[in-house]
Amino acid sequence: MRPGITGLEDEAITIIREVAACFERPVILFSGGKDSVVMLHVAVRAFAPAKLPFAIMHVDTGHNFPEVIEFRDRCLAGFGLDLTVASVQAAIDAGKVADAPSRNPLQTVALLDAIAENKFDAVLGGGRRDEERARAKERVFSHRDTFGQWDPKNQRPELWNIYNTSLRPGEHFRVFPISNWTELDVWSYIQEHDIELPSLYFAHRRPVFRRGGMLMAETEFLHAEAGEEVFEEQVRFRTVGDATCTAAVESSAVSIADVVAETSIARVTERGATRADDKISEAGMEDRKRQGYF
Amino acid sequence: MRQLRFATIGSVDDGKSTLIGRLLYDSKSIFEDQLEHVEAVSKRRGDEYVDLSLLTDGLRAEREQGITIDVAHRYFATPARSFVIMDCPGHVQYTRNMVTGASTADLAIILIDARHGVVEQTRRHSILTSLLGVPHLVVCVNKMDLVDYSEARFKEIREDFENFAARLNLHDVTFLPISALKGDNVVDRTPDLGWFEGPTLLHHLENVYTASDDNRIDVRFPVQYVIRPRTTEYHDYRGYAGTVAGGVLRVGDEIVVLPSGLSSTITGIDSADGPLTEAVPGAAVTILLADDLSVTRGDMICRPHNRPRVVQDHEAMLCWLDSNAQLQTNKLYTLKHTTRSARAKVSEVRYVLDISELHRKEPTGPLAMNDIARVVIHTAEPLLRDDYEHNRVTGSFILVDESTGATAAAGMLLPPRE
């Protein structure tokens, strides 16, 4: 293994190329969030000077920050890549799921539908093991049954760098090339390659309110309730997801270097600081993953 | 400094979770929300102390039953180095998890309870570490506080271990007296172990030299994927993408492609960061050749006078992993080795290894989960293979059960029988 971030990128490239070699219809999940941006950059570099041999898909809750959607489209246009959108709104309109205050868990339905419809057999995601304790147990090549379910107690052991890519009809794999990267590694890579990100990742002033100890943004999708006071604060987002369950943190980091400095001394994990949906129960992520979540 | 991936092997009784907790806590790598969470869960369960194993036991079943089922990955960094801890449950029935964790480890930590000394579990863990070729081993003699920090006791245990380990293939063994609970010699030196002149555990982990663990002599480049842009600009570009499994490839090197045996010269090495003059083990690169040969995934690029063995009959140590099916000799499995797959049969089980004593036993039935055995395997196509002790990448393989897709077994290739 080569030192530093280069070694982690080597590992990610090896995984991404293995997907290209072993699967018929791979797709990269791309939300415009930092992890998916980094994964996409690595993937494009893995096949240069040839074109990326994967489809790109975004599971859109319909409750995304407009800056992120604008960035998503501009970033893909820059790479000359086409996007498939799996829409949670469309799933709601079709009566497949009932709308909920947070649409984050509803993404599973739209995702599984799109996987079946497009016959995707490998779905690459930017999940990292340091994010969350259920993810810390997941394989790099994570097998899903015909219902898209993850069975944590019956995972295929993963040895050396040999990946078992065996699949039966209707099943698929979730593949996590940056499994072994930490939040700081991701930011170091962004810094080294001067990668553009949505403006939300950097300090800006916006109206926010406190809920459950977290700073939520006042947006068209989420409003302060009675007793919650809206005020303006200088914040940034450490993770960018559905606007209804992604919280901001107070920050003065306006550049990539500032964020790297801030991340290296952070005392709270990124999901602990910003994800309302993970606080529901100790096994919130595991339960969602079992049902087919990312 | 290279990232260090280390496996911690042992059970709760050895104080392994406490040790991991101590390493993370004293190196300030536990985040506040994680600690709050662990404290809250411990309190609710009525534990007498904060159970740091909750930091790594991520699955609902593990938390409910208070056991570790699967290898957990934990990440931390100090200013000197970044680390991945692969925490492996240590009970007999979890041999398969230990094998999995050890397969990618640069270093293994084995814990010995200072009161009990070298016990069966210590031997089992050491034998597995040796079998999996983990390059560095740290034996932590833990709970030194319970033997009055006795130097004599520490030396006695070290001698016991050395006597037993002389039969094993362990190259770099370091002994450290510690108390994970009290924090002695894990991150900080303490007066109680003032007699010990060696490093603290963290200091050792930060400084252990792993760059020479790779095989940098024998050039091995398994072709993973062929890159052909099919654009006007790169009309004639045909690159062989892969990850260097051994040796150092340089532009201008004469090479031979196996199994065809055709030769050519390296004209370029492309990487994500642009052209390179050489590619070292672990580097994911694209090799360009002077001649237009037919090279595909599963082929291997090496030097003309240093080739892997190209054979169909193999001696191997096999660790059975599948909990739902036992080995059936003469059944067809898919064998995955580097970027090559071949159908394979296990034709003979020579002996089963008793991993507590390193004894050879006659097989009494089909191999089942956690069994380790020496076997003879026949593949439908030749493998381009080295002995595991010379190269962990080109010497390892897995068997996949074609009917279920399960990873049935992990194997390490041995030299042919004389």
The pLDDT tens digits of the residues spanning B87-125 come to 887 666 678 888 888 999 999 999 999 999 998 888 888
From B246, B279, B302, give the residue that closes a domain: B302
d(CA A210, CA A229): 7
B410 interface with A at CB cutoff 8 Å = yes
Full domain range(s) for residue B237: 221-302
pLDDT per residue as tens digits for the range A184-227? 899 999 999 999 999 999 999 988 888 887 888 888 888 888 88
Residue in chain B nearest A286 by alpha carbon = B59
For residue A276, name the pLDDT band (cuts at 50, 70, 90): low
pLDDT computed for residue B264 by the predictor: 97
B100 plus B11 within the same structural domain? yes
Q: Where is mean pLDDT largest: B212-216, B320-324, B376-380?
A: B376-380
B60 plus B186 within the same structural domain? yes
Q: Pick from A50, A155, A182: which is nearest to B70 by CB?
A: A155
Q: Pick from A18, A162, A180: which is nearest to B398 by CB?
A: A162
For chain A, domains (ranges, CATH) are 4-184+283-290 (3.40.50.620), 198-279 (no CATH)
Chain B contact set for A134 (CB, 8 A): 58-59
Examine the pLDDT at B203 and tell me if it is beyond 70: yes
B42 interface with A at CB cutoff 8 Å = no
Look at B31 and A272 and tell me if their CB atoms are within 8 Å: yes
Chain A contact set for B102 (CB, 8 A): none
> SS3 sequence, chain B?
CCCEEEEEEECHHHCHHHHHHHHHHHCCCCCHHHHHHHHHHHHHHCCCCCCHHHHCCCCHHHHHHCCCCCCEEEEEECCCCEEEEEEEECCHHHHHHHHHHHHCCCEEEEEEECCCCCCHHHHHHHHHHHHCCCCEEEEEEECHHHHCCCHHHHHHHHHHHHHHHCCCCCCEEEEEECECCCCECCCECCHHHCCCCCCCHHHHHHHCCCHHHCCCCCCEEECCEEECCCCCCCCCCCEEEEECCECCEECCCEEEEECCCEEEEEEEEEECCEEECEECCCCEEEEEECCCCCCCCCCEEEECCECCEEEEEEEEEEEECCCCCCCCCCCCEEEEECCEEEEEEEEEEEEEEECCCCEEECCCCCCCCCCEEEEEEEEEEEEEECCCCCCCCCCEEEEEECCCCCEEEEEEEECCCC
Report, as an integer, the average pLDDT of A119-130: 93
Q: Which residue has the higher pLDDT, B218 or A110?
A: B218
Q: Pick from A1, A130, A182: which is nearest to B282 by CB?
A: A1
Pair of tokens at residue A110:
């739209």
B225 plus B171 within the same structural domain? no
CATH code where residue B402 lies:
2.40.30.10
Report, as an integer, the average pLDDT of B240-259: 97
B201 plus B63 within the same structural domain? yes
pLDDT computed for residue B315 by the predictor: 97
From B242, B275, B302, give the residue that closes a domain: B302
pLDDT, averaged across chain A: 87
Query: Number of residue pairs across A and B with CB atoms under 8 Å?
Result: 180
B209 interface with A at CB cutoff 8 Å = no
pLDDT computed for residue A264 by the predictor: 80
Examine the pLDDT at B16 and tell me if it is beyond 90: no
Examine the pLDDT at A277 and tell me if it is beyond 60: no
pLDDT computed for residue A103 by the predictor: 75
Look at A283 and B99 and tell me if their CB atoms are within 8 Å: no
Examine the pLDDT at B208 and tell me if it is beyond 90: yes
pLDDT per residue as tens digits for the range A222-243? 888 888 888 999 989 888 777 7
B181 plus B253 within the same structural domain? no
Examine the pLDDT at B126 and tell me if it is beyond 60: yes
User: ipTM value of the model?
Assistant: 0.93
Pair of tokens at residue B329:
């000799």
Examine the pLDDT at B27 and tell me if it is beyond 80: no
From B269, B286, B302, give the residue that closes a domain: B302
Q: Of A33-47, A146-160, B169-183, which gets the smallest average pLDDT?
A: A146-160
d(CA A257, CA A68): 21
B104 interface with A at CB cutoff 8 Å = yes
B268 plus B410 within the same structural domain? no
Examine the pLDDT at B396 and tell me if it is beyond 80: yes
Examine the pLDDT at B36 and tell me if it is beyond 90: no
Report, as an integer, the average pLDDT of B298-318: 97
Domain count, chain B: 3
pLDDT computed for residue A288 by the predictor: 73
Residue in chain A nearest B283 by alpha carbon = A10
Look at A286 and B397 and tell me if their CB atoms are within 8 Å: no
For residue B397, name the pLDDT band (cuts at 50, 70, 90): very high
Look at B280 and A21 and tell me if their CB atoms are within 8 Å: no
Examine the pLDDT at A118 and tell me if it is beyond 70: yes
Q: Of A255-269, A275-289, B96-110, B239-253, which gets the smallest average pLDDT?
A: A275-289
B262 plus B290 within the same structural domain? yes
pLDDT per residue as tens digits for the range A70-108? 999 999 999 999 999 988 888 888 888 788 777 777 788
CATH code where residue B130 lies:
3.40.50.300
Report, as an integer, the average pLDDT of A109-130: 91
Examine the pLDDT at A153 and tell me if it is beyond 60: yes
pLDDT computed for residue B53 by the predictor: 64
Look at A134 and B280 and tell me if their CB atoms are within 8 Å: no
Q: Pick from A20, A134, A162: which is nearest to B336 by CB?
A: A162
B8 plus B99 within the same structural domain? yes
Examine the pLDDT at B218 and tell me if it is beyond 90: yes
pLDDT per residue as tens digits for the range B63-90? 666 666 678 888 888 888 999 998 887 6
Percent of chain B predicted with pLDDT > 70 = 93
Chain B contact set for A14 (CB, 8 A): 224, 243, 284
Q: Of A39-53, A280-294, B161-175, B324-338, which gets the smallest average pLDDT?
A: A280-294
For residue A257, name the pLDDT band (cuts at 50, 70, 90): very high
B240 plus B196 within the same structural domain? no
pLDDT computed for residue A97 by the predictor: 79
B130 plus B206 within the same structural domain? yes
B296 plus B322 within the same structural domain? no
Q: Pick from B32, B57, B224: which is nearest to A18 by CB?
A: B224
Q: Which residue has the higher pLDDT, B214 or B107?
A: B107
Report, as an integer, the average pLDDT of B210-236: 92
Distance from CA of A1 to the nearest CA of B (A): 5
B97 plus B173 within the same structural domain? yes
